[in-house]
Structure 1
Amino acid sequence: MRTTRKNFLKSSALLGTAAGFPAIVPSTVFGEQAPSNKVNIGVIACGGRGNSCGEYLYVPKAQIVAACDPKKGMLDARSNVWKVAQKDRYSDYRELLAREDIDAVNIATPDHWHVPMAMAAAKAGKDVLCEKPLGISIEQNLAARRIEKEYGRVFQYGTQQRSMQALRMGVEIVLNGHIGDVKEIYVWAPGGQHGGDPTEAPVPKDFDYELWTGPAPVRPYSKDRCMNKRGSWHIYDYSIGFLGGWGAHPLDQLQWWADEEDLGIPFEYKTTGSINYNDLFNTAYHWDMEARYKDGTQLFFMDTDTAKRVKKNPDMDQLAQFYNCTQFVGTKGWVAVAREGFKASAEAIRRTAKNPGPRRLPVSKDHKGNFVDCVLSRETPVSSLDSAIRSDIISHMGDIGIRTGEIVQWDAEKETVIGSDAARKMMHREMRAPYDRLMI
C-alpha cells in the first residue's frame, strides 16, 4: 500500500495503543526537501499566542516551513499570512513532528498540551520554544527536565519580558546592590475570569476536537470551552488560570533575580483566592499569596485588582499604571520592573541603570531571535527551562493552597510538597490515554 498522510494517521493511531505513541516516521516518506541553511520552524497552534509566530518572518536565520492547528480556519488564516504552502499545513501535530527537515517547533497550544507536546517534540529531535505557563501540574514541570537532560534539546520559555531592555536593566540594578539587601518582593498580574457558557453545541466540521482535547478529560463541546479566545485558559481541565498564565511573566522577572542569588523558590506559601467551582471558568480569578524564602525574604503575589485594593505595598499608588509588575524592596530603596519600563524610589538609583556594576544578565533584544541563535549555537536561551520550572512551581503552590485551604510547604531538596497529603497529591494531574504515554 502506498504511504499517504491519511494512511500514516491511521497507522499512528493504532500504534498509540499498541507499540507506543506517537509514531514518528522519516520525512523522506513524504518526499520532503532537504533542509536549507536557515533554522526551519514548525508552528504548533496558530491562534492565541501562536499569532506571535509572525515574528519569525523578521528573524533572518529562520523560516516558517510548516504549521499545525486542529482548527482549520485558524490554520489557513495564519498560514496564508506566513506564506505556508497548503502541503505544509497539518491538523495533526504528529505529521509535523515526523518531518526531518524541521529543526525546531514553536508550541502555543492550550496549556494542557504544553509539556506533553514539548516532550513529543524533543523525542522527535526538535528544539522547542514553548509558550507560558509550563505544565498544568508540578509533576509535569519536573518531568520537563528530560527535554534537555535526556534528549539534549534547546528549550526557550515564552516569557518574552526577559528580552526587553528596561526589565533587564531594572533587575541588574537590584543584583548590583543599589537598593541594598532585598527584603520584600511584590508581584502582581491580571486576574482571571469566571462564568462561561457551558451550553453543548455541535462540533464544527473543520475542528478536530479529539486532538484538541488530547490528554485532558473528554467534555461536551461548547463554544466557550474551545472557541472563546481565552476560554481554555480559565478552565481547570486545561490550566490553572491566570495565576500561572499571566503570573508567569512577573514571576519570571522575580526568578531571574532569585536564580542569580541562588535563592530557589519560597518554602512556605499562604494563599487565598476566589474560584467559582461550578462555573465553566473554574480557576482562580483573584488571589493573594504570602510566601517566605529560607533567608526570610518575603514574597507577596496578587492579581492586579487585589493588589490595588488591599495595598499591602505602600508604594502601590506610584505603580498603579503597571498592570503586571515585579517590585523589589530593599534596605536602601526599591525598583519596580514592568513592560512599560522600570521605576525606582530615587533618581540616583534609576541613573545606575546605564552602568549598574559587574553583575550582568544575558542580553536578548528579540525573544524568538534569541531562540534561533541558540538552536544554532546550542547555548542556553535567555529564558531557560530550569528557571521556568522554578517560577511555574510558585504559581502551582498558590493554586494548591487556594484549593486545599492550607498553608503549603515546598522541600527544595526532595522537590515535593510536604506537610499535607492532600496538597502533595495535587502535584499530579491525570492524563487521558493514550496521550499519557507522551510523558514516558
Structure 2
Amino acid sequence: MGRREYLKKAALGSAGLIFAPTIVPSSVFGKNAPSNKINLGQIGCGRIARDHDMAETLKYDQARMIAVCDLDSNRVADAKKLVDGYYEKKNGKGYMDAKIYDDYRELLINPDIDGVLISTPDHWHSQPAIEAALAGKDIYVQKPTSLTVEEGRLLSDIVHKQGVILQVGTQQRSMPQFRIAAELVRNGRIGKIHTVKVGLPGDPSGPEVEEMPVPKNLNYDMWLGSTPEVPYTETGVHPQKGYSRPGWLRKEQFGAGMITGWGQHHFDSAAWGMDTEYTGPISVEAVAQFPKSGFWDVHGDFMVKAEYANGITMYTSGGYTNGIRYEGEDGWIFVSRGSYTASASDPVDKEKSAKALNASDPKILTSEIKDNEIRLYRSDEQHGNWLDCIKTRKQPISPVEIGHRACSVCLVSHIAMKLDTKLEWDPKIERFKNNDVANSMLSRPQRYPYGTNYIKH
C-alpha cells in the first residue's frame, strides 16, 4: 500500500466517515486510475516553469499535476488556468481543479503530493528542495542546484539520507548528441583528450532603475528569501506582465549570472565526456569584466581556466561558440544544443549554434560503440526519466551529486572571477587550499528566517 492510500484509509478509519462516490470520466480507470498516477506540485510558476517544466511534465499520462505554488498571486492563478485547461482539453471538463498555494511549505505537507518540480529563482532552489526531501517528496529542481557550494553539499547529503529521487534540470543529458559526444570521447575516438573548450556567453550591463512600490500580488519579503533586504524594482524581479527573461538573472544577489545559469548545463555535459562527474578541478583561475554602472551586476565577458587531476585543462569563455569542444591527440568533437531552446527568451545565437554535433573527421561521428565499450545512461527526455525513476526507484540521469559537482565548478569559477589569483581547489573536501578569502565565499550570510541554515534536519 502506498503512502497516499495508507493516509487516506487511516483518515477514514479514525473519523468514521463515509464519502459519497465521485463521478469521474471513464478514462481515469484501469492503468490511468488516479491511484496509479504520480501526483505532482509545481513550485514557482514563472517563465521556465510554463515554457519548460510544466509543458514537458504535463505530457506524461503517468503523472497528474494537482497543485501549483507561487509568491505572485497573478502567476499562480495563470498556472492554475494552464493546468486545468490542459486536462480539460485532454480528459474533459472538471477532470482537474488544481489547488493553489502561496507558500510551498504548505504544499509540502499535503500527503496527496508525491513529487514537486522546483522552478523558482536561483536563490530559492536548495531550500525548498531540502525541505521537500525531508518531507519525503521526490524532486525535480532547476539548475543551478545551489546558490553556494556549502548549500549544495547539504542538499546532496540530505537527499541521499532521505532516499528520495532528485533530478536536476540539466536536460542536455537527455539530448542524444551530448551522450553520443561523451561516449565517443570516453571510448577514445579522438585519442587522449587534453583540452576542453566551453562556449558560454556573458550578460550585458543594464539600465539605471529606481525603487518602486511592491505590487500587491507579490510577497516580496519571502521572494528575497535568504538574501539581503533591498528595495523592490520590477527590473530586479520579474515582469508584472508576460513571462520574458527576468531581471534577477542579472543580479549577483540572486545568483552569479551565466556562469551558473547556463554554466551548469555545459559543465555537467563536459564532465560526462571528461569522466569527472564526481569530482572537480584542482585549480581554477579567471578574468572577467563586471559592469561599472547600471542596475545589473553579473559578469560580462570572461575567461576561466580549470585544471583537472587527469591532465585535462578546461577553458570557458564567451569567445568560443556556445557548446563544448573536446580536443584530443587524434582530433576533436564539438557538441551543442543546436537550434533547441528551453524558453523563447533564451539568449541563443541559433545561427551559430545550429550544428549540434561536429568532428575533425566525419567518420568519428559514425563510429559504432561496441557492446564491450563504455555506454552511458540513455534518456529520451529529462522529465519523463524522472517520472520513470519515481516508479522504479532507480537513480535518474542527472542525480543530485552530479548536479552538485557541476554547480560547484560554476561557483568556484565565479569566485576566481572575483579574486585576482590562481586558486587551488581540493574536490574531496570541497575547500580551497591556503586561501581564507576564497573559502569565505563558499557560503553566504542568510537572512533569518529564510535559508538552509535554519532548516531543522
* Shorter-normalised TM range: 0.7 to 0.9
| Residue in structure 2 matching 1:413, options 428, 433, 436 | 428
Query: Deviations along 1:127-167, whole A, 9 cap, x unmatched?
Result: 11100111111111111112322211111010001111122
Aligned to 2:141: 130
* 2:166 equivalent to 1:149: no
The SS at the match of 1:168 is helix
Query: Deviations along 1:17-73, whole A, 9 cap, x unmatched?
Result: xxxxxxxxx9979x9999721111100001021112121121121111100011111
Deviation at 1:414, TM superposition (A): 1.9
Asked if the contact 1:270–1:408 (Cα under 8 Å) also holds between the matched residues in 2, the reply is: yes
Aligned to 1:4: none
Deviation at 1:379, TM superposition (A): 0.8
Query: Deviations along 1:225-280, whole A, 9 cap, x unmatched?
Result: 1124321111111101111111111111112223x467722111110101126543
AA in 2 matched with 1:61: Q
Query: Deviations along 1:79-131, whole A, 9 cap, x unmatched?
Result: 21111866601111111111011111100100001011101111111111100
In 2, Cα distance between equivalents of 1:212 and 1:353? 50
In 1, Cα distance between equivalents of 2:372 and 2:271? 20
Query: Deviations along 1:145-197, whole A, 9 cap, x unmatched?
Result: 12322211111010001111122111111111110001100001232232244
The SS at the match of 2:133 is helix
Q: In the TM superposition, what are the counterparts of 1:26-425 in structure 2 within 5 Å?
A: 36-51=35-50, 52=52, 53-83=54-84, 88-228=99-239, 229-258=245-274, 260=275, 264-276=279-291, 279-303=294-318, 306-307=319-320, 320=321, 324-340=322-338, 341-352=356-367, 358-425=373-440
TM-score, length of structure 2 as denominator length: 0.82
Change in 2 beyond 3 A, CA 1:288/1:202: same
Change in 2 beyond 3 A, CA 1:38/1:296: same
In 2, Cα distance between equivalents of 1:118 and 1:428? 18
Change in 2 beyond 3 A, CA 1:193/1:124: farther
In 2, Cα distance between equivalents of 1:291 and 1:251? 11
In 1, Cα distance between equivalents of 2:253 and 2:43? 20
Aligned to 1:310: none
Asked if the contact 1:188–1:247 (Cα under 8 Å) also holds between the matched residues in 2, the reply is: no
Asked if the contact 1:143–1:439 (Cα under 8 Å) also holds between the matched residues in 2, the reply is: no
Asked if the contact 1:197–1:222 (Cα under 8 Å) also holds between the matched residues in 2, the reply is: no
Deviation at 1:355, TM superposition (A): 5.5
In 2, Cα distance between equivalents of 1:357 and 1:300? 32
AA in 2 matched with 1:255: A
The SS at the match of 1:143 is helix
Aligned to 2:445: 430
Change in 2 beyond 3 A, CA 1:279/1:147: farther
In 2, Cα distance between equivalents of 1:410 and 1:192? 26
Structure 1 runs of 4+ with >4 Å offset = 26-29, 31-35, 84-87, 353-357
Asked if the contact 1:154–1:375 (Cα under 8 Å) also holds between the matched residues in 2, the reply is: yes
In 2, Cα distance between equivalents of 1:35 and 1:287? 50
In 2, Cα distance between equivalents of 1:148 and 1:206? 33
Deviation at 1:297, TM superposition (A): 1.2
The SS at the match of 2:285 is strand
The SS at the match of 1:205 is coil
In 2, Cα distance between equivalents of 1:121 and 1:289? 34
In 1, Cα distance between equivalents of 2:133 and 2:444? 21
TM-score, length of structure 1 as denominator length: 0.85
AA in 2 matched with 1:138: V
AA in 1 matched with 2:77: D
The SS at the match of 2:35 is coil
Aligned to 2:26: none
The SS at the match of 1:150 is helix
Change in 2 beyond 3 A, CA 1:348/1:277: same
Change in 2 beyond 3 A, CA 1:208/1:261: closer
AA in 1 matched with 2:71: P
In 1, Cα distance between equivalents of 2:372 and 2:194? 21
The SS at the match of 1:144 is helix
Identity of aligned residues (%): 30
In 1, Cα distance between equivalents of 2:225 and 2:382? 28
Asked if the contact 1:184–1:299 (Cα under 8 Å) also holds between the matched residues in 2, the reply is: yes
Asked if the contact 1:417–1:427 (Cα under 8 Å) also holds between the matched residues in 2, the reply is: no
Q: Mean Cα displacement is larger for which, 352-361 or 184-193?
A: 352-361
Change in 2 beyond 3 A, CA 1:262/1:215: closer
For structure 1, the residue ranges without an aligned partner over 5 or more in a row are: 1-25, 308-319
Asked if the contact 1:216–1:431 (Cα under 8 Å) also holds between the matched residues in 2, the reply is: yes
Change in 2 beyond 3 A, CA 1:277/1:102: farther
